[in-house]
């Protein structure tokens, strides 16, 4: 009997349904982890094939099956989904590929995060105990859901790879496929198209998040280009990808369009009213949780850092990717931070408001290698973890490299009479704090008791809003 005629109960030992999308599995609840940050090679890829090239509803396992994998461990992993049908084209591969994420998440006790070469899949202990011990179940669920939800797929074959050598071999091929897809979208400009596209696929995790995909701004997961979103909207007009009329161009430099604002406001349920497509300040694009990288402002050098998901160390400001992403994700719009795809660095509009690449001061070597050919004269001026560790190192590096950002370091003395600080909604003129005996004081009251000497805080015309403040204890001499 064909899978389409079977119920999920007949093909999987655990329940399958949209209600399980958004489930999170912690490490202690995890039987095995496939891919993820602890593992160097992982991928998922979809390829369009001719009808006679694949066997319908077939699951192939290369390497150990789920039940043969040692529990509480992480494995190199790959999924190859091959699809065929009269209307199935190469242009749809990226769109189909992104659906592996939500369809896998429909399986009770299986969690799928991220995309492409960044995937993390966890199979829960409870799910394993209930009999989810074979990739066959997962393959059948995918075949059934893909064919049900995307009826243009007539034939589908799934291959799961846990053999580490085979993963390595196929990983290299997958990277070539992603690169070829991304390259196709380069060169097309926003003004050359009549409409942009939205993606709301991540609303299961981040209910108010709306991705705006334009030729100059690939989605922040890096998996959906403007071409992909257009193809998806054509085959499934009621689905997660749909067109956005651009409307009026309100500001070309920040990338603000009336049509984008309108759709984002509507689809974020009023949470986000304005979006700057090409700035990390004021109204940056919202960030779900699938972003490949984060761009973050580093006030100490007035520059921008970029950190990717797989970077295991600390950025020069002492924060890891996970610490930064906890501030940015969930569909929030956070001033000074934005989730983005690495491919976006290549865009002719890349953070145009902030000065584009000329404002980027730090990125991991991995990211630098990925976009090396697009860095132009900035290759030697942008620091990596191999050049600097701390903010002080970074400042010295930038000075020595004659980075364009150094020109911005003009120290400006503002007369004390001109200084203003807003406190409790009132503007207090000439409010200059002083430090005495370990206490930071503003005229009229004590603000921050107990902080040691050697600190100088000058507030000039400042308004400070903070949802969270991280205070770190410094070791003596550092």
Query: With respect to ligand SF4, which residue has the nearer C-beta, 57 or 93?
Result: 93
Taking the complex as a whole, the smallest distance from the CB of residue 230 to ligand SF4 amounts, in Å, to: 13
Member of 54, 95, 150, 221 binding ligand SF4 (CB under 6 A): 221
d(CA 441, CA 425): 19
Query: With respect to ligand SF4, which residue has the nearer C-beta, 116 or 368?
Result: 116
User: E strand or H helix at 82, and its extent?
Assistant: strand 77-84
Taking the complex as a whole, the smallest distance from the CB of residue 288 to ligand SF4 amounts, in Å, to: 5
Query: With respect to ligand SF4, which residue has the nearer C-beta, 201 or 324?
Result: 201
Contact status: 332 vs ligand SF4 (CB under 6 A):
no
Member of 150, 167, 199, 345 binding ligand SF4 (CB under 6 A): 199
Taking the complex as a whole, the smallest distance from the CB of residue 262 to ligand SF4 amounts, in Å, to: 18
DSSP state at residue 392: H
Residue ranges of the alpha helices (H) in 220-320?
A: 226-235, 258-267
Nearest partner of 291 among 304, 309, 277, judged by Cα = 309
Contact status: 61 vs ligand SF4 (CB under 6 A):
no
Taking the complex as a whole, the smallest distance from the CB of residue 203 to ligand SF4 amounts, in Å, to: 7
User: E strand or H helix at 298, and its extent?
Assistant: strand 293-298
Q: CA 478 → CA 257, 389, 390, 473, 474, distances in Å?
A: 46, 13, 10, 10, 7
Query: With respect to ligand SF4, which residue has the nearer C-beta, 133 or 208?
Result: 208
d(CA 322, CA 309): 8
d(CA 329, CA 207): 11
- Give the interface segment with ligand SF4, choosing from 134-142, 181-189, 219-227, 318-326 (CB under 6 A): 219-227
- Per-residue binder mask for ligand SF4 (CB under 6 A), 63-102, x = binder: -----------------------------------x----
Query: With respect to ligand SF4, which residue has the nearer C-beta, 101 or 403?
Result: 101
Contact status: 112 vs ligand SF4 (CB under 6 A):
no
d(CA 280, CA 327): 14
Contact status: 342 vs ligand SF4 (CB under 6 A):
no
Taking the complex as a whole, the smallest distance from the CB of residue 209 to ligand SF4 amounts, in Å, to: 6
Q: Find where tokens 């085959």 sit.
A: 235
d(CA 368, CA 384): 8
Member of 92, 121, 174, 224 binding ligand SF4 (CB under 6 A): 224
The token pair that represents 190 in the structure block? 């926003």
Member of 150, 223, 357, 398 binding ligand SF4 (CB under 6 A): 223
Contact status: 233 vs ligand SF4 (CB under 6 A):
no
Q: Find where tokens 């992403």 sit.
A: 325
How far from the centroid of its chain's Cα atoms is residue 307's Cα? 10
DSSP codes of every residue in 14-58: S-B-GGGTT----GGGEEEEEESTT-S-EEEEEEE--GGGS-TTE
- Radius of gyration of the chain from its Cα atoms, rounded to whole angstroms: 25
Query: In 10 A of CB 465, how many CB atoms?
Result: 5
Contact status: 293 vs ligand SF4 (CB under 6 A):
no
The token pair that represents 253 in the structure block? 């430099």
Member of 110, 123, 185, 211 binding ligand SF4 (CB under 6 A): 211
- Give the interface segment with ligand SF4, choosing from 218-226, 356-364, 409-417, 465-473 (CB under 6 A): 218-226
- Give the interface segment with ligand SF4, choosing from 54-62, 126-134, 189-197, 217-225 (CB under 6 A): 217-225
Taking the complex as a whole, the smallest distance from the CB of residue 124 to ligand SF4 amounts, in Å, to: 23
Member of 114, 219, 225, 268 binding ligand SF4 (CB under 6 A): 219
Residues that bind ligand SF4 (CB under 6 A): 98, 199, 201-202, 211, 219-221, 223-224, 288, 290
């Amino acid at each position: 009997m064909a899978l389409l005629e079977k119920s999920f109960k007949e093909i999987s030992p655990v329940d399958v349904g949209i209600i399980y999308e958004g489930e999170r599995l912690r490490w202690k609840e995890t039987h095995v982890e496939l891919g993820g940050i602890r593992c160097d090679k992982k991928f998922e890829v979809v390829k369009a094939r001719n009808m006679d090239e694949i066997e319908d509803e077939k699951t192939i396992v290369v390497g150990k099956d789920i039940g043969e994998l040692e529990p509480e461990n992480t494995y190199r992993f790959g999924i190859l989904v091959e699809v065929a049908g009269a209307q199935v084209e190469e242009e749809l591969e990226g769109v189909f590929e992104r659906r592996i994420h939500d369809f896998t998440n429909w399986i009770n006790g299986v969690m799928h995060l991220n995309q492409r070469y960044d995937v993390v899949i966890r199979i829960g202990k409870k799910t394993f105990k209930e009999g989810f011990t074979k990739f066959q179940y997962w393959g059948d669920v995918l075949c059934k859901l893909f064919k049900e939800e995307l009826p243009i797929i007539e034939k589908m074959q799934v291959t799961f790879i846990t053999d580490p050598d085979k993963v390595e071999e196929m990983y290299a091929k997958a990277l070539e496929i992603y690169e070829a897809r991304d390259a196709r979208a380069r060169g097309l400009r926003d003004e050359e198209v009549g409409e942009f596209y939205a993606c709301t696929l991540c609303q299961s995790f981040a209910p108010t998040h709306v991705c705006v995909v334009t030729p100059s701004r690939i989605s922040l997961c890096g998996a959906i280009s403007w071409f992909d979103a257009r193809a998806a909207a054509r085959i499934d007009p009621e689905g997660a990808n749909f067109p956005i009329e651009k409307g009026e161009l309100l500001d070309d430099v920040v990338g603000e369009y009336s049509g984008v604002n309108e759709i984002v406001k509507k689809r974020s349920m009023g949470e986000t009213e304005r979006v700057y497509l090409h700035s990390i300040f004021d109204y940056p694009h919202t960030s779900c949780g699938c972003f490949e990288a984060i761009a973050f402002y580093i006030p100490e050098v007035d520059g921008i850092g970029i950190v990717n998901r797989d970077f295991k160390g600390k950025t020069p400001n002492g924060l890891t990717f996970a610490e930064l992403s906890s501030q940015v994700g969930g569909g929030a719009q956070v001033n000074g931070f934005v989730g983005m795809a690495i491919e976006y660095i290549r865009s002719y509009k890349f953070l145009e408001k902030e000065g584009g690449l000329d404002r980027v001061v730090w990125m991991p070597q991995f990211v630098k290698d990925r976009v090396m050919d697009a860095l132009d004269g900035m290759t030697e001026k942008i620091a990596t973890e191999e050049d600097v560790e701390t903010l002080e190192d970074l400042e010295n590096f930038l000075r020595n490299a004659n980075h364009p950002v150094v020109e911005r370091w003009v120290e400006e003395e503002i007369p004390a009479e001109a200084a203003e600080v807003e406190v409790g909604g009132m503007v207090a003129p000439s409010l200059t704090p002083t430090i005495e005996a370990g206490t930071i004081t503003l005229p009229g009251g004590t603000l921050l008791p107990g902080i040691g000497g050697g600190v100088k805080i000058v507030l000039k015309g400042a308004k400070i809003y903070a949802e969270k403040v991280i205070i770190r204890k410094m070791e003596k001499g550092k």
